Amino acid sequence: MKPQPEEEGRRWLAQAENDWNAARHLRAGGFLALSCFHAQQSAEKAVKAYLYAQGAEEVWGHAVSQLLEDAATFDQSLEEFFKMGAVLDKLYIPTRYPNGLPGGLPSEAYTEDEAESALDRARQILDAIAQRL
The least confident of 51-55, 103-107, 120-124 is 103-107
Tell me the helices (H) and strands (E) count for the chain, helix number first: 6, 0
Mean pLDDT across the chain, nearest whole number? 95
Q: How far apart are CA 105 and CA 102, in angstroms?
A: 9
Our measurement of the distance from residue 114's CA atom to the centroid of its chain's CA atoms, rounded to an integer in Å, reads 15
The CATH code for residues 5-132 is 1.20.120.330
Mean pLDDT of 12-28: 98
Q: Where are the domains of the chain?
A: 5-132
What per-residue confidence (pLDDT) applies to 129? 97
What per-residue confidence (pLDDT) applies to 12? 96
Q: How far apart are CA 46 and CA 111, in angstroms?
A: 24
What per-residue confidence (pLDDT) applies to 95? 95
